[in-house]
Structure 1
Amino acid sequence: MRVTEVSARAFRLPLHRAWDGGVDRNDLVVVRVATDEGLVGTGFSWTPLIGARAVAALIADDLRPALLGRRADPSLWDELRWHLREAGTSGLTLMALAGVDIALWDLVARRAGLPLVELLGRRREEAECYGSGVNLDYPLPDLLEQVAGWVAAGHRAVKVKVGSPAVARDAERVEAVRDLVGADRLLMVDANQRWDVPGAVRALAVLEEFDPYFVEEPLPAGDLGAHVRLRARTRVPFAVGENLRTVEEFERFIDEGVCDVAQPNVVRVGGITPFMRIAESAARRSVPVAPHLLPELSGQLALCLPRVGMVEDIDRASLAALGALAVPSGVRLERGRVSADTGPGHGLVFSGGLAPVP
């Protein structure tokens, strides 16, 4: 099965409510890889706000020529990354490579007549998921309404944003959420890289009272040394990884003892191929993987991981919730659990009526 055509188009998905910092949309790059057997695989890349057209251009201008006539197989990943090296080996190049890699996995699964989960190797029928929102700027009543919705939906774990200029505001909000969800549910907090080391020490000393299951991205994501210094000054476990990109980066953070839960984003790391490598490496180090966002694909991957954490059920911002899908994917997030029955491939069929990125 050989590649005969590769296409990439960028589309805009307005959010139902803006995320912190004025993020009012997610952009989606839909990738299609056609073959001489008539099969077409679908992939995608994704980004809030920045870079969708650049990703599409990398695919059309640089990955397409490298793929035409080649075997349609995700084993090309390392070769394609090397091909893109002059544009960098991280960032936008990995996001472009993700769209192609996901499409190639879809193709291979379709050709085999298997759901992606079965092709990768299903390890479980369900995985736990947690309610999550980008809600630091929500007034407290709005935050509690959102969390109450997750509880009503059956979630046994929830995550809220912290990192307010005043620690007292974060403490008030986290205390109110803890009172709402009760002592038997997991409560996580996410600082989105807003603290420095002294600020994180002060904030976590206060927030420890509310028994956070983990703190996500307490510090600038790439500052390994700062995480090591903070590790010595708090007992709260760290979840990191949505802004790490490579197997080597994850291994460094885990080996230094500052990644208790790994959170790779399947697009940002370059696709399914490197995502599974990261998961295998983390499992060898006894660290669970909790995939970041994109639950329709992350949920499928979670069913195949050797050591799984939880899947992020982002409030009203899944591909389905944003109107990106033409038909249901077969991935179900119900009563705090995720399951998948997709038919051949990954089951993601994108709508033909999406608005292009201007």
Structure 2
Amino acid sequence: MRIADIQFQLSRIPLPGGTWGDQIHTVTHIEIITADVTADDGSTGTGFTHTSGVGGRTILAMLEELRPTLIGGNAHPRSVWHGAWHYLRDNGPGGVTTLALAAVDIALWDLLGRSLNLPLADLLGRVRDRVPLYGSGINLHLSAEEVADQVEGWKRDGYGAAKVKVGKPDVEEDVERLTKIRERVGAFPLAVDANQGWSFPQAAIAAERYAPLDLLWVEEPLRVDDVEGHRRLRERSRIPLGLGENLYTLQQFNQYFINDACDFVQTDVGRIGGITPYMAVADTARAFGLPMTPHFIMELSAHVLCAVPNISWAEMTEGGTLTELGVIEAQPIQNGWFAPRDVPGNGLEFDRGLLKRYAVSGGDVS
């Protein structure tokens, strides 16, 4: 089977809640770049990649430049990924390079699953039929009572854990907020996310102050390019570390693994470059005894986790699932668990009308 054609589209989808914010972000839109591939036998597959509102046109331009190198070539995702990565890697081994490759890779896995009449999980090697979820919120702007209500709701709805934002100017305000949540939900597993917003001294102080709260992990306490800082922090902190949503290559993950600087592996299937490199990270994490706990795009991440032995939970980002964004046919959550649709391919049916309505044209992203 060979690639006969591949088409791309960029859409800028407004967040249903208006605005997200944390220590380092203000997000009003999620950009979705779709890839529709057609094989020489007429079979098709659809993939996508995403941004938090910035860089979509750059990714689209990279994909348009890549297209001529793909037409007529082998349609197997693994061979395409490695060849395409070598073609683009002078732009950087990860980042926009891998974000662009994800759209193609996910489309080709969908194509392969559809052509063999297999769901993605079975194509990859299914080990489970459903995946537990944890609730996650962009909630640093909310009051302590509002965040406690949110976490209590996730617990009531059957989620296995919760994650909330931290990073108030005064660490004692964070401690007060977390204490109120802990008092409300008892021993329910609770993680926090600092979004790379601290210096090392700030992170060390926070880890010490948070220790009595029995937290599941502290996520991205430092800049993610600071492997040594995370290693030092993990040595002195009683709280495990989670990271990976802003790592873009297998080699970056491996540096964290070999330096014993990570406990929960939060790979983003879009940012890492698609399903092909995601499975490579999962296999490497398994060798180190670490659980995959992926970031964002739940409906695809959880489908992939059905073929990964070493998992904890997938992330349900409230207000940010593909279903809540309206870009795919709704895929419901059942009592805190996600079971992918039992159909060939990745099971994502995109709302083409909505994507067209929010399509970016003429360079306009207003």
Q: Which amino acid aligns with 2:9?
A: R
Aligned twin of 1:236 = 239
Does the CA-based 8 Å contact 1:264-1:289 persist in structure 2?
yes
Aligned twin of 2:94 = 90
The answer to whether the aligner puts 1:35 opposite 2:35 as a matched pair is no
> After superposition, what is the alpha-carbon deviation per residue over 1:69-94, rounded to whole angstroms, capped at 9, x for unaligned?
01211022111100112222211011
Across the two proteins, how many residue pairs are aligned to each other? 353
CA distance in 1, matches of 2:197, 2:280: 29
Q: Per-residue deviation at 1:201? A: 1.1
> After superposition, what is the alpha-carbon deviation per residue over 1:89-131, rounded to whole angstroms, capped at 9, x for unaligned?
2110110100000000000000000000110011012222100
CA distance in 2, matches of 1:22, 1:125: 36
Equivalent of 1:269 in 272, 275, 287: 272
Aligned twin of 2:105 = 101
| Larger displacement relative to structure 2 (83-92 or 262-271) | 83-92
Equivalent of 1:296 in 279, 286, 299: 299
> After superposition, what is the alpha-carbon deviation per residue over 1:20-62, rounded to whole angstroms, capped at 9, x for unaligned?
132111110011111111111100010101111111111112x
3-state SS, counterpart of residue 16 of structure 1 = coil
Aligned twin of 1:343 = 343
**In percent, how many aligned pairs have the same letter?**
40
> After superposition, what is the alpha-carbon deviation per residue over 1:130-168, rounded to whole angstroms, capped at 9, x for unaligned?
000111111223222322321231113100011111011
CA distance in 2, matches of 1:328, 1:315: 14
Aligned twin of 1:328 = 330
Equivalent positions of 1:41-80 (< 5 A) are: 41-61=45-65, 63-75=66-78, 76-80=80-84
> After superposition, what is the alpha-carbon deviation per residue over 1:150-207, rounded to whole angstroms, capped at 9, x for unaligned?
1231113100011111011101111111112211x10001111111111111111111
Q: Which amino acid aligns with 1:352?
A: R
Unaligned runs of 5+ in 2: none
3-state SS, counterpart of residue 31 of structure 2 = strand
Does the CA-based 8 Å contact 1:101-1:271 persist in structure 2?
yes
CA distance in 1, matches of 2:316, 2:20: 15
Q: Per-residue deviation at 1:66? A: 0.9
CA distance in 1, matches of 2:213, 2:71: 55
Equivalent positions of 1:1-358 (< 5 A) are: 1-17=1-17, 18-20=19-21, 21-61=25-65, 63-75=66-78, 76-183=80-187, 185-325=188-328, 327-329=329-331, 332-353=332-353, 354=355, 355-357=358-360, 358=365
Q: Per-residue deviation at 1:263? A: 0.7
**What do you get for the CA RMSD once the two structures are aligned?**
1.2
CA distance in 2, matches of 1:215, 1:333: 26
Q: Which amino acid aligns with 1:118?
A: D
Does the CA-based 8 Å contact 2:144-2:181 persist in structure 1?
no
3-state SS, counterpart of residue 104 of structure 1 = helix
CA distance in 1, matches of 2:132, 2:180: 24
Q: Per-residue deviation at 1:252? A: 1.1
Q: Which amino acid aligns with 1:260?
A: D
| Larger displacement relative to structure 2 (332-341 or 30-39) | 332-341
3-state SS, counterpart of residue 356 of structure 1 = coil
CA distance in 1, matches of 2:251, 2:309: 19
CA distance in 1, matches of 2:256, 2:167: 22
CA distance in 2, matches of 1:274, 1:293: 17
3-state SS, counterpart of residue 54 of structure 1 = helix
CA distance in 1, matches of 2:30, 2:105: 20
Unaligned runs of 5+ in 1: none
TM-score normalised according to structure 1 size: 0.96
CA distance in 2, matches of 1:74, 1:286: 27
Does the CA-based 8 Å contact 1:113-1:344 persist in structure 2?
yes
Does the CA-based 8 Å contact 1:197-1:229 persist in structure 2?
no
| Larger displacement relative to structure 2 (137-146 or 220-229) | 137-146
TM-score normalised according to structure 2 size: 0.94
CA distance in 1, matches of 2:177, 2:334: 26
